[in-house]
Structure 1
């Protein structure tokens, strides 16, 4: 009987456990301390008051597959040389194969003043409290509404702009658009890296009159004065144009720093791999789980696999990506047990980002490592023939269909 240990009770961990626990020659252990499992993709909709927060969570005991040994604790230290790990309570757990899917953690210290601003309720974030985002939105009376994200990788890289679009739509419906400046500031150089999607989103930005600020990296927040400070990153002088029409009132400080006042600020917090990963021998030089990007096998330890947000994979960190990663990990573990060699099946970097562009509208970006736009052929069954366009049917997919598939199929180990 092979001992399979999975760290993480998120999407990747539960999906993997649900499939492997059905194998006769495997004993599956899942290490996860949380009381609840959340469907976080719906938190964007919660922040715009179009989805009930309580419907995004279930008790972990409800989604943990039957037959799994659930260790309700944190992984604290990895000892891959001896095929074991140690939990926070000091329990030593041995394994034959280890699957790491622990997700990310927030590091508020990476932006000066962020923790204080969140504690005071000055900053809202769908990542930490989408209900608070809605409270801020519905009480907003006009002024600068700033949406931004950090220089670190983040879960669902499109989320900060989704809520910007929904907010802009809400401000229109509320009759305050004419006294509101919506600003989307990002360290990136383009609104989206896939050309088909970029073309549509540029029209969305133009429709709402959103001020798009590329190469803006947030570095400091003054909660009392309500000022956010940005620095230019990877910027050419010709690309970064400071708005001079007195709408946003940016203040240049030195050559590369800008201070921007805000009346509303939504921010995705900086995100990093958990310390038991980043400070272990399994991490690369940047602190991410060092796995082969195609096989998902660790580059040094052949009996360790990694997937999801903490893995060093150059693609978007989404549940859709994990859906494609899980079969590769499972196939390789089964092949190793049977023959001592992994399979030739590879993960091609597939991920997707459902980009909500307003109430009742959505674009679906699907892509691979090469940046190719790769729409799922199954979309045609919904009469969706071009998912790079804003469509109501895609909104239905986001709000009604995907959550059902998640709870009823993905987490139960069924193919989707």
Structure 2
């Protein structure tokens, strides 16, 4: 395994800014002035958006598909946990957006500001409009650091980090290396988030780091979640409770982080649920604090006619077609699909969406493909240990790809997640040729042992 090379916070911020600026210049050069209209517009150049746009651009022909994406840099976010835990180098997590968008598609390097589904137009940040025949919304969701009082001032210094942000992910390992005593806190918000297993993964990696440094007996590890379970699916919840107990990680349910006092190094949690202390707050001192920020839909979607009451794109959970506007589809984190928000889910969703959208464009009356809620959450528990959770978010039923019990920590599952899937991501998923392990499962787990 490639050892991560970590730099000082100031040096990292300088290099990250320089990389982003270089990528922005390259993307600006690659992007062209948008045409007045496209057969298909995809808002979002993340994993789901690119999986769809790459396939549709090949099918519909050059420059019939436009991708609206403001970020000059594309991140493979599942790798952030490995970077924060000192197992991967940050350089492996990103590439310029212009390099990963299909050459057959037009890249519009701007933010979308408004969607008018009646006029079938998207207004860009500069005020110009892009018309579409069909629209796919794949924007992801927004990290809301401002949703926790004091966090914006505290993050990135004095032991406060977050694997969810490319700006702060390397701070995690840096701060863990410098933690030799006291309290190490790891938080999970009560809001929907992407990769819901990541908040606890870093706690187990921290345990391993402290043990290797010989300071574990001096550091208390506390995991605080705003939810009522350590994991949504019972099979994996049992496994993770066992892992937490074995690693001496203290799990605190219904504790939602609401304030960080950086100078005093204190974190305040609100007690949720319906217990006798619900609504009260407790304040805990910390020496290290890993924060998973609350997350929310982007405002321009939340305020648009295509959103449901919670602010997510309102689509049919099986076909991924909008419930009101038949020429609009959505997938991934910004959609209303009631399953865990992961890249694995987006891969499976992309196959269903592409099938249904292409048939609609071509006027075919073949039956619609249906998404069954499949998602996966690889739960890293150590350098070569991982619980590979695969399940339907709709039913809570495991959908495991392999014949062994994936709720057990396994070196194979770790190798698959750390080394194989990143290559699949860059070389297949973003090019629209990976739709998840369902075809493989017929060979590797034909009797559906779960």
Correspondence for 1:11: 47
Residues 201-220 of structure 1: matches in 2 within 5 Å?
A: 201-220=240-259
Relative to the length of structure 1, the TM-score reads 0.91
* 2:38–2:66 contact (8 Å) kept in structure 1: no
Correspondence for 1:92: 129
Correspondence for 1:403: 422
SS at match of 1:367: strand
Q: CA deviation at 1:342?
A: 7.5
Match among 103, 108, 111 for residue 71 of structure 1 = 108
Correspondence for 1:105: 142
5+ residue gaps, structure 1: 241-253
Q: 2:217 & 2:142 partners in 1: Cα distance?
A: 38
SS at match of 2:177: helix
Correspondence for 2:375: 351
Correspondence for 2:333: 309
Q: After the TM superposition, which segments of 4 or more aligned residues of structure 1 sit over 3 Å from their partners?
A: 119-122, 340-343
* 1:9–1:30 contact (8 Å) kept in structure 2: yes
* 2:239–2:408 contact (8 Å) kept in structure 1: yes
Residues 22-61 of structure 1: matches in 2 within 5 Å?
A: 22-24=58-60, 27-61=64-98
SS at match of 1:95: strand
Q: CA deviation at 1:235?
A: 3.6
Distance 1:403 1:72, change over 3 A: same
State yes or no: 1:180 paired with 2:219: yes
State yes or no: 1:370 paired with 2:395: yes
Q: 1:335 & 1:395 partners in 2: Cα distance?
A: 38
Q: CA deviation at 1:309?
A: 0.6
Q: How many residues align?
A: 395
Correspondence for 2:15: none
Q: 1:255 & 1:28 partners in 2: Cα distance?
A: 49
Supply the RMSD in Å over aligned alpha carbons. Answer: 1.7
Q: CA deviation at 1:344?
A: 2.6
Correspondence for 2:9: none
Correspondence for 2:448: none
SS at match of 1:93: strand
Q: CA deviation at 1:274?
A: 1.0
5+ residue gaps, structure 2: 1-36, 436-450
Match among 228, 248, 268 for residue 267 of structure 2 = 228
Q: 1:348 & 1:30 partners in 2: Cα distance?
A: 27
Q: 2:433 & 2:318 partners in 1: Cα distance?
A: 22
Relative to the length of structure 2, the TM-score reads 0.85
Residues 253-332 of structure 1: matches in 2 within 5 Å?
A: 256-332=280-356
* 1:333–1:342 contact (8 Å) kept in structure 2: no
Residues 128-143 of structure 1: matches in 2 within 5 Å?
A: 128=165, 129-143=168-182
State yes or no: 1:199 paired with 2:238: yes
Q: Deviations over 1:186-215 (max 9, x none)?
A: 011111122221222122111111110001
* 2:156–2:171 contact (8 Å) kept in structure 1: no
State yes or no: 1:387 paired with 2:406: yes
* 1:331–1:343 contact (8 Å) kept in structure 2: no
Distance 1:289 1:121, change over 3 A: farther
Q: 2:282 & 2:206 partners in 1: Cα distance?
A: 24
Q: 1:371 & 1:255 partners in 2: Cα distance?
A: 29
Q: 1:143 & 1:81 partners in 2: Cα distance?
A: 57
